[in-house]
A and B are shown apart, each in its own frame.
Chain A
Amino acid sequence: MTVLEVKNIKKDFGKTKVLKDVSFSLEEGQVLAIIGSSGSGKTTLLRCLNFLEKPDSGEIIVRGKHLLTEGCTEEQIRENRLHFGLVFQNFNLFPQYTALKNVTLAPTLLKKGTPQQLETQGKQLLTQVGLQDKMDSYPYQLSGGQQQRVAIARALALQPEILCFDEPTSALDPELTGEVLRVIRNLKTGGNTMIVVTHEMEFAKSVADVVIYMTDGVIEEIGTPEQVFDNPQSEKTRAFLRGVQEGF
């Protein structure tokens, strides 16, 4: 079943055309990896899906429901956002709250359950990401990898239909990326639909069902990991992948 359809999304920042007519769709339980060099528009695409940026034109359709309508009230935008979750590159945890409170804060404010239910759910989620011992720690007491796992649990707490990751390991020391990627891999096993913007090619190759290579605000190539990585059709994709292999 198609969960997400993105049609003809365009976005300019002043004179710079960041997204030029981007379209793709995503099936239930699929993982989409978006690769591409910085400035290719992949982060902006993710931000458009989460309504942190407003596309200039185009459609975002979740399970048949059109989300981008003109004259959205703030209330509607907030509702639309809840179809998506977003995990940021630099975590953006709330520093004044414990790991558990970071996870339970939004569902509590949105009245998604009784305090007891939400606390139980929060503990389950933190356990799921391997942080059962860190529930009462404050963000500054956690390593980058642990903070990012809290951020994932926080995003999951609202049960988004599509969970997005914006370069989730880019701010981490190399030895900490593994623990975060493992968590994302486990989420796939759990049937979550996800979009991962990433520089980790090996990870994209092994986890994604669909890979998009973006450059200059367009989808240059889209296909299965085998198609995109092993048999790219576009010269630009080949050049990018060669560059990645040589370690930039």
Chain B
Amino acid sequence: MFLPVTLQLLEGFWESLKIFGLTLAFALPLGLLISFGSMSRFAPLKWLLRGIIWVIRGTPLMLQLMVIFYGPGLLFGLPAMPRFTATIVAFSINYACYFSEIYRGGIESISKGQYEAGQVLGMTKPQIFFKVVLLQVVKRIMAPMSNEIITLVKDTSLARVISVYEIIWAGESFIKKGMLWPLFYTGAFYLVFSGILTVLFAKAEKKLSYFRS
């Protein structure tokens, strides 16, 4: 029984990984845009984004999933998005907000002197950001980002509430056949994957240890 169960769970976990990968692909850059906006000198944009961040961080992701999936239909009579799409939208917005706050903390922790040094050397603002500041920010946010990304691995299971097939669903489906252990067994998949991520983050941190700031 072990091998077929493993294969079926792997299939479910592949769906979980898709949610994980796509969320990262959208939320990492979107978070950067939101963090720039939330530091903007244009007050309306800044407060709008800080308000959105407050709402997104202040309510459960599970609820946000349901709002994004059912909301458009209930409120405006629009056709619902495919479940998987709704999941990626909800996850991306949610994680982008968390990432944006981590980015903001990192960017604001870089001393003014670094920007000024770039300025007096005639660099443009984008050059200062990408050539001087960015790598220092990356180094500083490594630990909180790895934390958040490992949380995302496990949060993918929330997609279950709007009936998106993923590994928990795959595990549960065995209950009908009188088997409970496959559901518990799903934990091993999360564990192994977050273990791999932990090793990768440790490597990346080591790689950035060649300088101090």
How many residues of chain A get a CB closer than 8 Å to chain B's CBs?
29
Pick the contact of B119 from A52, A93, A138, A139 — CB < 8 Å? A52
How many residues of chain B get a CB closer than 8 Å to chain A's CBs?
23
Contact: B119 with A106, CB < 8 Å?
no
B60 on interface, CB distance cutoff 8 Å: no
Q: Which residues of B123-160 are within 8 A (CB) of A?
A: 123-125, 127, 131-132, 135-136, 139
Contact: B113 with A92, CB < 8 Å?
yes
Q: How far is the CB of B162 from chain A (nearest CB, A)?
A: 43
Chain B, residue nearest A106 (CB): B121
Contact: B120 with A85, CB < 8 Å?
yes
Contact: A88 with B117, CB < 8 Å?
yes
Q: Which residues of A65-88 are within 8 A (CB) of B?
A: 74, 78-79, 81-82, 84-86, 88
A88 touching B113 in the complex, CB below 8 Å, given contacts A94-B132, A96-B136, A96-B211: yes
Contact: B122 with A95, CB < 8 Å?
no
A95 touching B123 in the complex, CB below 8 Å, given contacts A90-B113, A140-B211, A140-B212: no
B85 on interface, CB distance cutoff 8 Å: no
A109 on interface, CB distance cutoff 8 Å: yes
**CB neighbours of A42 from chain B (8 A):** none
Q: How far is the CB of B134 from chain A (nearest CB, A)?
A: 9
Chain B, residue nearest A151 (CB): B117
Contact: A158 with B121, CB < 8 Å?
yes
Beta-carbon contacts of A93-134 to B below 8 Å, as 1s and 0s? 111110000000110011000000000000000000000000
A52 touching B116 in the complex, CB below 8 Å, given contacts A96-B213, A109-B127, A140-B211: yes
Contact: A105 with B120, CB < 8 Å?
no
Contact: B212 with A154, CB < 8 Å?
no
User: How far apart are the CA atoms of A106 and B116 in the complex, in Å?
Assistant: 13
Interface residues of A (CB under 8 A from B): 50-52, 74, 78-79, 81-82, 84-86, 88, 90, 92-97, 105-106, 109-110, 138-140, 154-155, 158
Interface residues of B (CB under 8 A from A): 111, 113-114, 116-125, 127, 131-132, 135-136, 139, 210-213
Taking A78-B122, A88-B116, A139-B211 as known contacts, 20 extra A-B pairs with beta carbons closer than 8 A to each other, sorted by chain A number, are A52-B119, A78-B123, A78-B124, A81-B120, A85-B120, A90-B113, A92-B111, A93-B117, A94-B117, A94-B132, A96-B136, A97-B211, A106-B123, A109-B123, A110-B122, A110-B123, A140-B211, A140-B212, A155-B121, A158-B122
